[in-house]
Amino acid sequence: MSETVAEFMQKPVKKYACGKRAEQAKKTLMNAFVASSQKKAASEKAQLEKMIDIVNKTPTGRETLKNLSKAGCSIHFDGLEGMGGFFSPGKNKLVINRNMSLEGMAILLVHEGTHAVQWYLKGSKDFAAINYSAADVFRNGRAKEADAYAHQTAFSYECKTAYPVIYQMIMEKNPHLSGLLKTYEGEMEKSGDSEKAMQKTFTGWYENVPMMNSYDNDYKTFVTGWLQEDRKGLFQKELSDEVILKQLRHNGKKYVSEDFLKSGIANSIRLADKQEIYAAMIGYARKAGERADLSVLKMNDRTEDGKLIPARNKTAKAAVVSKLKQKGR
Q: What is the mean pLDDT of the chain?
A: 89
| Contact (CB, 8 A) for 48 and 67 | no
Predicted pLDDT at 20:
86
Spans of all domains in the chain? 16-126
Residue 122: pLDDT band (50, 70, 90) is confident
Model pLDDT for residues 54-71, shown as the tens digit of each residue: 999 999 999 999 999 999
Q: How far apart are CA 32 and CA 76, in angstroms?
A: 9
Band (pLDDT 50/70/90 cuts) for residue 83 is: confident
Helices (H) and strands (E) in the chain, counts: 14, 7
Where are the strands (E) in the chain, listed by range?
74-78, 85-88, 93-97, 249-250, 253-254, 268-270, 300-302
User: Tell me: the pLDDT tens digits for 168-226?
Assistant: 999 999 988 999 999 999 999 999 999 999 999 999 999 999 999 999 999 999 999 99
DSSP code of 82? S
Exposed, middle or buried: residue 205 (CB in 10 Å: 0-12, 13-18, 19+)?
A: buried
Q: What is the CATH architecture assignment of 16-126? A: 2-Layer Sandwich (3.30)
pLDDT for 266-275, tens place per residue?
Answer: 999 999 999 9
Reduced to 3 states (helix: H, G, I; strand: E, B; else coil), residue 311 is coil
pTM comes to: 0.89
Q: Do residues 265 and 308 make contact, with C-beta atoms less than 8 angstroms apart?
A: yes
Give residue 319's pLDDT: 53
